[in-house]
């Protein structure tokens, strides 16, 4: 059985700058994979490549055994690749329920969209329940807090029924309490989905016994268990070196 | 999946959403005023003016759908209005001419009827073309540009250029189109004397009913899942792709619907006003209707209709009283609305909780 996602030798060049440099990245069915690395490492760019937002300069993206380089964004969603964004984008004029319903309805034939939504479908109810947004269902998404928006985005993703979920820094900017809840949410989703989570905070990973891929300056630095990765001197250099620099910077300024 | 966050679980049972009767009640009230009160109180000339404004309101409805709901600022609706108008005008000219040639062709020295005109003798064909030609042009344009992600100001300028090109084309083909004068001097409208009060009265009712039906259709569309999707495309086209929809398809469909509405409006305009000419469909009239929609309130379909009727009256009033001031007044009103009241006149009447 082939892996669900196979990124082969992908490079991305923006105006002469190599954001990704010969990255190989494979994720198996059912995995919960963390993708970490300091800011600017190329994590978001890798997600953009997988979801079709950015075209690779060289290399291929394989999904479920087929190369999907030529597919456009919405076609990839239809294959089952779903994502959230680092700065969450929900439709503020629509209610929470309408946001979820729209996400859940993309496989309906176009003509059937001409009917009004009546009530709440099972998928949407499930997404409301999983994300705990039930009480806010009738509220416009524009009034949600930052954390609630992230949960709504994750809910929209679940409602799409994807085979591969890509979450770009879902806990960034969240309070400790919100981070904990999001962590629970992730664990729950990972039970029956293949998930890739971007996070640059090593501490957040401590609780997960799963595979971690570290990106640094567009290259794949190391891949292994949380403990292996934490123990690796290169990772320590990337993270601790940076921490040291920042500490030094703080002293100076 | 089980709930893992502390929030109480929601019951999957369909939530019965309370029906809001205010919208339908208002619609019924306006329908009674339009279909009963106005025909009783207005003298024929004034009723004819209102019929003209209502044809503009049909175009405005389409602009409300494309721009207000879908975010496509179309500055070239005159093109579709004109295509519908010319299709109707050609039929009426041929009908009046009988076995001969339309009058303007004789004056231009045309000796045989151009092949393009021949099928318009058939009223069914002509009426079909009123819908098909604007629809096909919009569909083609939409398919070409939305896929290439042409949007915002680029789309607006493109549609405006189309309106300008249409005028040049019409003026340049004197023998085929009547040139600057357009098509006018109609006598008969489907067996009736087009100028007779009774015909004009019948036309008023036709226009009002067509507007009402199209309004209900657009309203239904707006409330449907497609309508929600359209808003989503307006507010975050790039995000919509990641919901698995192709925004280009959504926009093309909506733009085509708005074009068809403009085409129908143009076809109704011809017997009501008695003329279709390049001056009625160029850049300026196209812009005027967009201004009217903005003034009425582009985010509500009713706002678009209201704006078209009000601006129609305002234009007639000011062109009679202060002809030079109208253009400036219109511009000032537009800036005022965009700057201070982006929801337009209707924004002052609507409850805060209503979506678009
Ligand atoms: N569209 C773009 N054009 C130019 N440079 C970009 C673009 N997107 C990302 N980059 C650059 O590529 C590098 C990697 O960015 P990104 O993938 O967002 O990093 P990360 O998500 O790991 O923080 C950064 O230096 C960023 O400035
Ligand atoms: Mg990033």
Number of independent structural domains in chain B: 1
pLDDT of A119:
87
Residue A5: strand pairing partners: A27, A63
Q: Is A221 helix (H, G, I), strand (E, B) or coil?
A: strand
pLDDT in tens, A155-206: 999 999 999 999 999 988 888 889 888 988 888 899 889 999 998 777 778 7
Residue B161 forms part of a structural domain: yes
pLDDT of A248:
54
Residue of B108, B332, B235, B180 lying closest to A141 (CA atoms): B235
Q: What is the DSSP string of B128-166?
A: HHHHHHHHHHHHHHHHHHHHTT--HHHHHHHHHHHHHHH
pLDDT in tens, B331-346: 888 888 888 888 999 9
* A86 touching B (Cβ < 8 Å): no
> How far from chain centre, in Å, is Cα B244?
30
* CA dist B129 → A197, A203, A250, B120 (Å): 54, 67, 73, 9
State the Cα–Cα distance between residues B41 and B36, nearest whole angstrom: 9
Name the pLDDT band for B302 (thresholds 50, 70, 90).
Answer: very high
Residue of A67, A23, A27, A69 lying closest to A45 (CA atoms): A23
Residues B179 and B277 sit within 8 Å (Cβ to Cβ):
no
pLDDT in tens, B128-161: 999 999 999 999 999 999 998 898 899 999 999 9
pLDDT over 90 at B300, yes or no: yes
pLDDT over 50 at B66, yes or no: yes
pLDDT over 90 at B17, yes or no: no
Tell how far the Cα of A48 is from the centroid of ligand 2, in angstroms: 10
> How far from chain centre, in Å, is Cα B75?
11
pLDDT over 70 at B352, yes or no: no
pLDDT of B43:
95
Alpha-helical (H) ranges within chain A are 43-51, 73-79, 96-104, 122-131, 146-159, 176-190, 202-205, 226-231, 233-236, 242-252
Handedness of CA A146, A149, A153, A154 (dihedral sign): positive
pLDDT over 90 at B329, yes or no: no
Name the pLDDT band for B16 (thresholds 50, 70, 90).
Answer: low
Task: Specify the higher pLDDT residue, A208 or A226.
Answer: A226
Residues A189 and B5 sit within 8 Å (Cβ to Cβ):
no
Name the pLDDT band for B6 (thresholds 50, 70, 90).
Answer: very low
Tokens 């009283």, residue located: B321
Residues B271 and B194 sit within 8 Å (Cβ to Cβ):
yes
| Helix and strand numbers, DSSP H then E, in chain B | 14, 4
**Is A160–B244 a contact, with Cβ atoms under 8 angstroms apart?**
yes
If you take atom 26 of ligand 1, which residue's CA is the nearest one? A40
Tokens at B67, concatenated: 């721009």
Residues A45 and A19 sit within 8 Å (Cβ to Cβ):
yes
pLDDT over 70 at B108, yes or no: yes
Name the pLDDT band for A249 (thresholds 50, 70, 90).
Answer: low
Out of A51, A92, A125, closest to residue B235 by CB: A92
| Residue B268: partners with Cβ closer than 8 Å, 6 or more residues away | B55, B58, B88, B203, B206, B207, B210
Name the pLDDT band for A113 (thresholds 50, 70, 90).
Answer: very high
pLDDT of B321:
84
pLDDT over 60 at B196, yes or no: yes
**Is B226–A129 a contact, with Cβ atoms under 8 angstroms apart?**
no
Residue B309 forms part of a structural domain: no
Residues B207 and B272 sit within 8 Å (Cβ to Cβ):
yes
Residue among A37, A40, A168 to mutate when testing ligand 1 (max atoms within 8 A of CB): A40
User: What single-letter DSSP state applies at residue A80?
Assistant: T
> How far from chain centre, in Å, is Cα A178?
17
Name the pLDDT band for B76 (thresholds 50, 70, 90).
Answer: very high
Residue B270 structural domain: 45-280
pLDDT over 60 at B191, yes or no: yes
Residues of chain B with Cβ-Cβ distance to A82 below 8 Å are 242
* B193 touching A (Cβ < 8 Å): no
State the Cα–Cα distance between residues B127 and B52, nearest whole angstrom: 19
pLDDT of B18:
66
If you take atom 4 of ligand 1, which residue's CA is the nearest one? A14
* CA dist B155 → A107, B81, B251 (Å): 29, 18, 12
Name the pLDDT band for B77 (thresholds 50, 70, 90).
Answer: very high
> How far from chain centre, in Å, is Cα A77?
13
pLDDT over 70 at B127, yes or no: yes
pLDDT in tens, B215-230: 999 999 999 999 999 9
Instruction: Write the burial class of residue B20 (CB in 10 Å: 0-12 exposed, 13-18 middle, 19+ buried).
Output: exposed
Residues B348 and B93 sit within 8 Å (Cβ to Cβ):
no
Q: What is the DSSP string of B265-309?
A: HHHHHHHHHSEE-GGGTSHHHHHHHHHHHHHH-TTSHHHHHHHHH
Q: What is the mean pLDDT of chain A?
A: 90
Residues A111 and A134 sit within 8 Å (Cβ to Cβ):
no
Residue A60: strand pairing partners: A8
Q: What is the DSSP string of B8-27?
A: PPPP-SPPPPPP--HHHHHH
Phi and psi, residue A27, nearest 5°: -130, 130
**Is B242–A83 a contact, with Cβ atoms under 8 angstroms apart?**
yes
Residue B108 forms part of a structural domain: yes
State the Cα–Cα distance between residues B55 and B270, nearest whole angstrom: 10
Beta strands A66-67 and A58-63 are antiparallel
pLDDT of B11:
45
Out of B3, B9, B224, closest to residue A113 by CB: B224
What is the CB neighbour count within 10 angstroms for residue B323?
A: 9
Name the pLDDT band for A213 (thresholds 50, 70, 90).
Answer: very high
pTM: 0.91
Mutate one of A102, A154, A168 to test the B interface: name it (highest B CB count within 10 A). Answer: A102
The ligand 1 site (C-beta within 6 Å) comprises A 14, 17, 19, 37, 39-45
Task: Specify the higher pLDDT residue, A173 or B355.
Answer: A173
Name the pLDDT band for A87 (thresholds 50, 70, 90).
Answer: confident
**Is A114–B225 a contact, with Cβ atoms under 8 angstroms apart?**
yes
pLDDT over 60 at B98, yes or no: yes
Q: Percent of chain B having pLDDT more than 90?
A: 81
Residue B181 forms part of a structural domain: yes
Name the pLDDT band for A65 (thresholds 50, 70, 90).
Answer: very high
pLDDT over 60 at A63, yes or no: yes
What is the CB neighbour count within 10 angstroms for residue A55?
A: 11
pLDDT of B353:
44
Residue A12: strand pairing partners: A20
pLDDT in tens, B278-297: 999 999 999 999 999 999 99
Tell how far the Cα of A60 is from the centroid of ligand 1, in angstroms: 19
Name the pLDDT band for A1 (thresholds 50, 70, 90).
Answer: low
Question: What stretch of H or E contains A60?
Answer: strand A58-63
Residue of A210, A162, A161, A153 lying closest to A182 (CA atoms): A153
Name the pLDDT band for A242 (thresholds 50, 70, 90).
Answer: low
Q: Which of A157-166, A208-217, B161-170 bottoms out in mean pLDDT, i.e. has the lowest?
A: A208-217
pLDDT over 50 at B177, yes or no: yes
Name the pLDDT band for B351 (thresholds 50, 70, 90).
Answer: low
Q: Which CATH architecture has domain A5-252?
A: 3-Layer(aba) Sandwich (3.40)
State the Cα–Cα distance between residues A98 and A92, nearest whole angstrom: 10
Tokens 């992230």, residue located: A150
pLDDT of B334:
86
Task: Specify the higher pLDDT residue, A242 or B164.
Answer: B164
pLDDT of B309:
97
Q: Percent of chain B having pLDDT more than 70?
A: 93
State the Cα–Cα distance between residues B35 and B134, nearest whole angstrom: 28
* B355 touching A (Cβ < 8 Å): yes
Structural domain spans, chain A: 5-252
């Amino acid at each position: 059985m082939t892996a669900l996602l196979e990124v082969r030798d992908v490079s991305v060049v923006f105006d002469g700058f190599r954001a990704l440099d010969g990255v190989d990245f494979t994720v198996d069915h059912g995995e919960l994979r963390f993708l970490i690395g300091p800011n600017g490492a190329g994590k978001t760019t890798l997600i953009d490549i997988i979801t079709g937002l950015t075209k690779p300069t060289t290399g291929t993206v394989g999904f479920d055994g087929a190369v999907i380089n030529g597919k456009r964004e919405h076609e990839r969603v239809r294959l089952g690749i779903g994502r959230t964004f680092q700065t969450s984008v929900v439709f503020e004029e629509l209610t929470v329920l309408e946001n979820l319903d729209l996400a859940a309805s993309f496989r309906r034939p176009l003509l059937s969209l001409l009917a009004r939504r009546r009530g709440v479908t099972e998928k949407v109810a499930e997404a409301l329940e999983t994300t705990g947004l039930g009480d806010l269902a009738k509220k416009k998404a524009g009034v949600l807090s930052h954390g609630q928006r992230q949960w709504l985005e994750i809910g929209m993703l679940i409602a799409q029924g994807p085979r591969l979920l890509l979450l770009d820094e879902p806990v960034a900017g969240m309070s400790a309490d919100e981070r904990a809840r999001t962590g629970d949410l992730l664990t729950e989703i990972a039970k029956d989905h293949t998930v890739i989570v971007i996070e640059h905070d090593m501490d957040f990973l401590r609780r997960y016994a799963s595979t971690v891929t570290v990106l640094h300056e567009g290259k794949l630095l190391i891949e292994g268990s949380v403990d292996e990765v934490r123990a690796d001197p290169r990772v320590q250099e990337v993270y601790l070196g940076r921490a040291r620099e920042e500490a030094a910077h703080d002293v100076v300024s | 999946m089980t709930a893992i966050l502390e929030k109480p679980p929601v019951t999957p049972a369909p939530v019965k959403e309370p029906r809001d009767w205010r919208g339908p009640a208002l619609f019924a009230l306006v329908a009674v005023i339009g279909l009963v009160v106005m025909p009783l109180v207005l003298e024929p000339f004034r009723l004819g003016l209102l019929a003209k404004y209502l044809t503009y309101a049909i175009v405005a409805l389409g602009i409300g759908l494309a721009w207000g709901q879908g975010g496509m600022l179309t500055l070239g609706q005159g093109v579709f209005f004109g295509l519908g108008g010319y299709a109707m005008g050609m039929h009426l000219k041929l009908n009046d001419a009988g076995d001969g040639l339309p009058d303007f062709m004789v004056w231009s020295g045309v000796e045989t009827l151009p092949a393009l005109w021949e099928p318009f003798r058939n009223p069914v064909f002509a009426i079909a073309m009123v819908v098909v030609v604007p629809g096909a042009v919009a569909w083609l344009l939409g398919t070409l540009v939305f896929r290439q992600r042409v949007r915002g100001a680029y789309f607006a300028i493109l549609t405006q250029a189309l309106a300008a090109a249409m005028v040049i084309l019409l003026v340049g083909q004197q023998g085929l189109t009547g040139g600057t004068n357009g098509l006018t001097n109609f006598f008969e409208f489907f067996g009736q004397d087009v100028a007779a009060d009774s015909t004009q009265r019948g036309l008023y009712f036709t226009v009002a009913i067509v507007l009402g039906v199209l309004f209900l259709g657009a309203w239904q569309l707006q409330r449907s899942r497609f309508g929600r999707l359209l808003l989503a495309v307006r507010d975050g086209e790039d995000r919509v792709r990641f919901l698995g929809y192709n925004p280009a398809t959504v926009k093309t469909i909506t733009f085509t619907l708005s074009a068809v509405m403009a085409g129908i409006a143009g076809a109704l305009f011809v017997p009501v006003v008695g003329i279709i000419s390049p001056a009625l469909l160029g850049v300026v009239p196209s812009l005027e209707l967009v201004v009217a929609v903005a003034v009425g309130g582009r985010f509500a379909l009713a706002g678009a209709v209201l704006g078209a009727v009000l601006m129609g009256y305002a234009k007639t009033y000011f062109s009679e009283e202060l002809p030079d001031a109208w253009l400036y007044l219109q511009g000032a009103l537009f800036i005022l609305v965009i700057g201070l009241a982006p929801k337009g006149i209707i924004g002052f009447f609507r409850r805060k909780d209503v979506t678009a």
